[in-house]
């Protein structure tokens, strides 16, 4: 039997674990760098970039979340392959489709979509872009083994639409689920000390209730119903079927087999893949055994990357893509760090070539402090005479609306989720868990009546007086939020209060109540701000921020010795490290992320009341 103490053994195990983990990380990093050399060598041996041959089909297939700005999303730490991929953003995808319209080598688009990881506002943008492509006279064909309601939304644009004879077709109406943690917390002995302003501000509900509050159910039902109505209207126009008939089909579950979808004219026929390929050859005019020339988006962007950049003049319209949670400090890729984005805007307002800033917001909010830091820099830009407008994506709510509130004009998609003007604070008390389940007790010594409030202990239960102080702080932030909206929108405080209370609105309704100025997309906002800044199309460039790079570009930067080599190396190693997490936890990722989000919260929050996935 070993005579070593358990603490010594534990220390040694920890040392070797750290040692081997570091070795593994180093080996992976070296492997990636060697792979980079191989990749560069292969590219050279192939004579450089690929080319698009005549009579080519552009194949659209989306297997990963689509950010607003290319490569501006956090890599999935549970998927090593994810960080190796070029993650094209919605803006660039739409530009590529525009390029394809005028590309004589591209004869049509082939949609191969089982599911599309996009919000509904972004889905509408891409849906309409596919419709423009089809109206140009080129074909759009769709085929899938399985259509859910999102993928069918895109496929409905196509003519023809096919499905596998033994495939699946989900068409039953919209539904969403929310996850509540209170029961789990009660069993663990964890309570949350919760403070909020706004009766519709429901971000804390999963930790204080076991089901939706009446207010939350009301707003969810309202905006989900509005989205569903618009969804049916778009399908009706695409398939030439009355919207009421589509609702009847869904409400009676009339599509249960692929042939049912044909019977009710939702798809044109059931076909096997080989039959679809034969029809594709027929459209292209190629022989039966000829290879079909296909260009994926990854290949197409490698050919047309330079065309995605706007270089019409020295004057700049800066588009700042604010997507993800608003967090304190610099934040990570895929989030909106208050300090990072303030720095970006500060540099833009000091750039004499920047005449206008468009904030493209796709965020459910986050830190109240970080939101105000960004708001302040936008105010300073306006004071210097720089035009500022906002274009809203899928979500521009709570803190996301806060940073939009002082814009000259706000554009929203009709399906944008916005508003949620309210705030909250949430502090866990884990005393029950520590004492009753783990046998851990703690005691406190206070020098000062309220000194524990500065410590932020997860063991301490606030007194009634301390709770009142925190609530007053939350109320003050809420008042500031409403003041920002009142001054930015030119509304009375009473008018703001009537549409605030943490309530969520669809873009279409937000226009009616004065929270936005116009329904439209990013291009509409750019055109409007160019006109406001007296810029003509041939004398300004549109430049996106923050500057992002694909994994390959970052690897090339390291190999090429660029100025930010150390920063890029650090980011690459962090991504490699995060990718080591086992994929066996995939089914629990959403729950893990929810808990991690709560753990990361500091100070008063301005967040969307919930995360709800509409299927």
Helix, strand, or coil (residue 597): helix
With a CB cutoff of 8 Å and minimum separation 6, the contacts of 312 are 537, 538, 539, 540, 541
Angle at 57 between CA 283 and CA 135, to 5 degrees: 70
The CA-based dihedral angle spanning residues 525, 334, 80, 569, taken in that order and rounded to the nearest 10 degrees: 110
Cβ contact 117:85 at 8 Å: no
List the Cα angle 228/232/235 in 5-degree steps.
140
Distance separating alpha carbons of residues 519 and 491, to the nearest angstrom: 19
E strands in 3-138: 56-60, 106-112
The DSSP annotation for 107-155 comes to EEEEEE-S-----HHHHHHHHHHHHHHHHTT-EEEEEEEEE-HHHHHHH
CA 349/CA 410 separation, integer angstroms: 20
DSSP codes of every residue in 442-476: -----SSTTTHHHHT-SSPPPPHHHHHHHHHHHHH
The DSSP code for 62 is -
Strands 409-412 and 354-363: unpaired
* CA gap 145, 294 in Å, rounded: 20
DSSP string for residues in 342-403: HHHHHHHHT-TTEEEEEEEEEE-EEEHHHHHHHHHHHHHHHHTT-EEEEEEEEEEETHHHHT
d(CA 388, CA 317): 10
**DSSP string over 209-265:** -SS--HHHHHHHHHHHHHHHHHHHHHHHHHHT--HHHHHHHHHTT---SHHHHHHTT
How far separated are the first and last CA of the chain, in Å rounded? 59
Label residues 522-545 b or e (16+ Cβ within 10 Å = b). bebbbebbbeebebeeeebbbbbb
Residue 152 main-chain phi, psi, to 5 deg: -65, -30
Structural contact between residues 385 and 355, judged by C-beta atoms closer than 8 angstroms = no
The token pair at 268 is: 């044109």
Would you say 344 and 305 are in contact if contact means Cβ atoms under 8 Å apart?
no
480 Rama sector, left if φ>0, alpha if ψ -120 to 50, beta otherwise = alpha
Q: Which residues are catalytic?
A: 201, 398
Instruction: Give the orientation angle of helix 90-101 with respect to helix 120-135, to 10 degrees.
Output: 10
Do residues 266 and 171 lie in contact, with contact meaning Cβ atoms separated by under 8 Å? yes
Do residues 425 and 467 make contact, with C-beta atoms less than 8 angstroms apart?
Answer: no
């Amino acid at each position: 039997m070993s005579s070593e103490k358990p603490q010594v053994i534990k220390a040694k195990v920890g040392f070797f674990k750290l040692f081997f983990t570091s070795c593994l990380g180093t080996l992976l990093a070296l492997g990636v760098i060697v792979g980079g050399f191989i990749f560069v060598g292969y590219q050279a041996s192939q004579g450089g970039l690929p080319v698009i041959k005549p009579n080519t089909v552009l194949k659209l297939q989306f297997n990963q979340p689509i950010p607003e700005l290319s490569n501006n999303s956090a890599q999935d730490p549970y998927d090593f392959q994810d960080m190796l991929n070029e993650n094209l953003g919605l803006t660039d995808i739409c530009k590529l489709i525009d390029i394809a319209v005028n590309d004589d080598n591209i004869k049509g688009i082939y949609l191969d979509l089982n599911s599309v990881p996009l919000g509904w506002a972004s889905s509408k943008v891409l849906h309409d872009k596919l419709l423009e492509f089809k109206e140009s006279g080129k074909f759009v064909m769709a085929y899938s083994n399985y259509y859910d309601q999102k993928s069918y939304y895109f496929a409905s644009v196509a003519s023809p639409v096919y499905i596998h004879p033994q495939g699946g077709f989900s068409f039953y109406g919209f539904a969403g689920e929310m996850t509540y943690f209170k029961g789990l917390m009660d069993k663990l002995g964890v309570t949350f000390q919760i403070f909020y302003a706004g009766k519709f501000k429901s971000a804390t509900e999963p930790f204080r209730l076991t089901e939706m509050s009446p207010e939350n159910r009301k707003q969810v039902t309202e905006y989900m119903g509005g989205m569903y109505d618009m969804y049916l209207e778009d399908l009706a126009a695409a398939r030439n079927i009355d919207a009421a008939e589509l609702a009847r089909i869904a409400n009676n579950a009339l599509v249960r087999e692929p042939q049912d979808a044909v019977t009710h004219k939702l798809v044109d026929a059931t076909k096997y893949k080989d039959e679809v390929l034969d029809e594709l050859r027929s459209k292209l005019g190629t022989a039966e055994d000829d290879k079909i020339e296909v260009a994926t988006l990854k290949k197409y962007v490698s050919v047309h990357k330079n065309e995605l950049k706007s270089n019409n003049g020295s004057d700049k319209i800066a588009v700042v893509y604010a997507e993800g949670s608003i967090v304190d400090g610099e934040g990570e890729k895929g989030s909106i760090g208050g300090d990072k984005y303030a720095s970006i805007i500060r540099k833009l307002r000091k750039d004499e070539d920047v005449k206008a800033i468009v904030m493209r917001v796709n965020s459910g909010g986050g830190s109240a402090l970080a939101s105000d830091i960004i708001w302040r820099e936008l105010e300073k830009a306006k004071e210097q005479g720089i035009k500022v407008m906002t274009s809203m994506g899928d979500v521009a709510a709570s803190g996301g609306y806060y940073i939009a509130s002082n814009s000259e004009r706000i554009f929203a998609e009709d399906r944008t989720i916005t508003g949620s003007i309210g705030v909250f604070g949430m502090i866990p008390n884990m005393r029950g868990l520590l004492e009753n389940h783990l046998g851990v007790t703690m005691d406190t010594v206070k020098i000062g009546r309220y000194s524990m409030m500065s410590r932020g202990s997860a063991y301490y239960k606030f007194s009634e007086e301390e709770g009142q102080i925190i609530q007053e702080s939350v109320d003050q932030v809420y008042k500031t939020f409403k003041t920002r909206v009142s001054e930015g929108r030119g509304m009375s405080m009473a008018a703001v209060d009537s549409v605030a209370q943490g309530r969520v609105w669809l873009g279409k309704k937000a226009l009616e109540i004065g929270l936005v100025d116009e329904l439209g997309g990013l291009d509409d906002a750019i055109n409007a701000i160019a006109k406001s800044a007296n810029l003509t199309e041939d004398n300004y460039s549109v430049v996106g921020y923050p500057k992002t790079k694909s994994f390959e570009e970052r690897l090339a930067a390291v190999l090429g010795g660029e100025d930010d080599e150390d920063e890029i190396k650090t980011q690459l190693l962090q991504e490699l490290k995060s990718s080591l997490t086992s994929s066996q936890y995939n089914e629990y990722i959403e729950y893990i992320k929810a808990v991690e989000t709560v753990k990361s919260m500091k100070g008063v929050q301005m967040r969307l009341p919930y995360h709800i996935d509409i299927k």
